[in-house]
Amino acid sequence: MATANPSALFDFADQLALISSEVLRFRIKNKAILSQDEKSRLEDIEIELDKVTAKVRAKGIASLGSVTATKRIEVETATKDAEALLRRIKRIERALDIATSVLNLAIAAIAGQPQGILTALNTVKDVVAGDTA
Amino acid sequence: MRLLYLGLMPVLLLTGCTTNLKPVREFADETKKISVAFDPVINQAVEHCKQQFLQRRIYTTDKPLKGFDPEGAINEASDTCKPITDQMATAKEMSKALSDYAGQLSALAADGVASSVDDNYDALAVKLREFKDIPQEKIGAVSSLLKFITRSIIAKSQHDAIVDALSHEEAVGALADALVVYSDRVYSAYIQERLKDQPVFTDQLRAESASPISSRLRILDVYQQTLTLQEQHKATAGLRAAVSQMKMTMRDLRQNIDRLSSQERLAEVQKLSKEVRSLYQQLAKAF
């Protein structure tokens, strides 16, 4: 199904709104000569016109969303690509953190410090968990 | 290993000098501010639709007062404007895409992205020094070289990613234009219709003779409301001008990506900052 032109829909909505305003002004201007029933019917017409105006404007927004959907997806993809590079850099940082924490563990093991081994082991676990998070 | 260094030479030469990414960063930050500025416009469009409906029912109706049901009137206003409410998500999707894009571009062009691994390398080198069997003089040299190579590769990737992000100029412009259309054809359309109603409401109040003090107070309210609506209407012109400058600045940056340090780039970004500042001054008066 072809996408309706947003401008045409917004133009149509403006026309409907204009007619509603004209009916309102006619009702007020001729207050004295219109019967209560006529005034009430005119106001009901205004309400209906306002409802249709909102519906057509909403269709205009939907159409605007459809005609720009491809562009929006293109921008979202570009955003994800930028995010991916920043994530890659973070991964390099994490890899270096892991290497440093493993070396800490090795140093503690070589020195035969049980408490140091435990602390270093926990740090390795934390860093690795951060990498996969 | 020598071959690896030779292969990396072009990369190192390309990125040997630090690229000045400040214009890109500032462009991204200003673009983010523009996308955020659309939020009150998107939210307020529905409110203007409801207020227009309600005020017409209050000021111009000829139906008897005894039949006036406030809850029913509010519900009918919500019902009338429901199609606009339902489509708010469409406009929000557009502004979010623009905002996320600008946020990531700013992060990409941030200071210290390329050198962010330096500290991690330094920490690693400190640990390596604790291994006595490794020649100490080589640790510093190898670590510095690896740091330099990594930083250069990251800087090259960062540069390429920024070039790629800016190459979506047409799509970014189309999204921003669509938000301007929303602001002009939905939000502003309701404001203009309400502004045309205001003199009608004032005339109706003047014709009321039963309670002149109450009428005067209401006329004052209508007048103050008119001033607010006028300021809100002006904000749409600010959005249009900011988006127009944003597109020009983006084109300038894309076309001169290798001349980011020049004064012209800075001047172009400053033009955008000026438009955004003026937009936010207008928004402060309007909301």
Written as one string, the DSSP assignment of A13-34 is: HHHHHHHHHHHHHHHHHTTTTS
- Per residue in B222-257, is it b (16+ CB within 10 Å) or e — as a string? beebbeebebbbebbebbbbbbebbbebbebbeeeb
CA distance B88 to chain A (A): 8
**Cα gap B18→B152, rounded to integer Å:** 9
Q: What is the DSSP letter of B66?
A: G
**pTM of the full structure:** 0.85
Residue A128 within any structural domain of the chain: yes
- The verdict on A59 and A98 lying in the same domain is no
Six-digit token string for A40: 């009430």
User: Which residues on chain A are in Cβ contact (under 8 Å) with B134?
Assistant: none
- The verdict on A113 and A61 lying in the same domain is no
Model pLDDT for residues A3-13, shown as the tens digit of each residue: 789 999 999 99
- The verdict on A59 and A91 lying in the same domain is no
Share of chain B above pLDDT 70, in %: 93
Q: What is the DSSP letter of A4?
A: P
**Cα gap B248→B250, rounded to integer Å:** 5
- The verdict on A85 and A129 lying in the same domain is yes
pLDDT at residue B11 in the model: 45
In the predicted model, is pLDDT for residue A49 greater than 70? Answer: yes
Which of A56-60, B112-116, B187-191, B251-255 shows the lowest mean pLDDT across its residues? Answer: B112-116
**CA pseudo-torsion sign B282, B247, B105, B153:** negative
Per-state percent for chain A, helix, strand, coil, to nearest 5: 90, 0, 10
Six-digit token string for B118: 């330096």
* Domain hosting residue A63, numbered range: 1-67
Domain count, chain A: 2
Domains in chain B: boundaries: 31-60+67-98+168-286
Residues 178..237 of B with a Cβ closer than 8 Å to A: which? 178, 181-182, 185-186, 189, 193, 196-197, 200, 203-204
- The verdict on A23 and A59 lying in the same domain is yes
Model pLDDT for residues A91-133, shown as the tens digit of each residue: 777 788 777 877 877 777 777 777 777 787 777 777 666 644 4
- The verdict on A11 and A47 lying in the same domain is yes
Residue A72 within any structural domain of the chain: no
Q: What is the DSSP letter of B186?
A: I
Residue A54 within any structural domain of the chain: yes
Q: How far is CA A46 from the centre of its chain?
A: 34
- The verdict on A38 and A85 lying in the same domain is no
Cβ separation of B165 and A82 shorter than 8 Å?
A: yes
Cβ separation of A40 and B63 shorter than 8 Å?
A: yes
**Cα gap B69→B205, rounded to integer Å:** 20
Dihedral, CA of residue A59, residue A64, residue A70 and residue A74, to nearest 10: -130
**CA pseudo-torsion sign A52, B79, A66, B98:** positive
| End position of a domain, from candidates A36, A67, A98 | A67
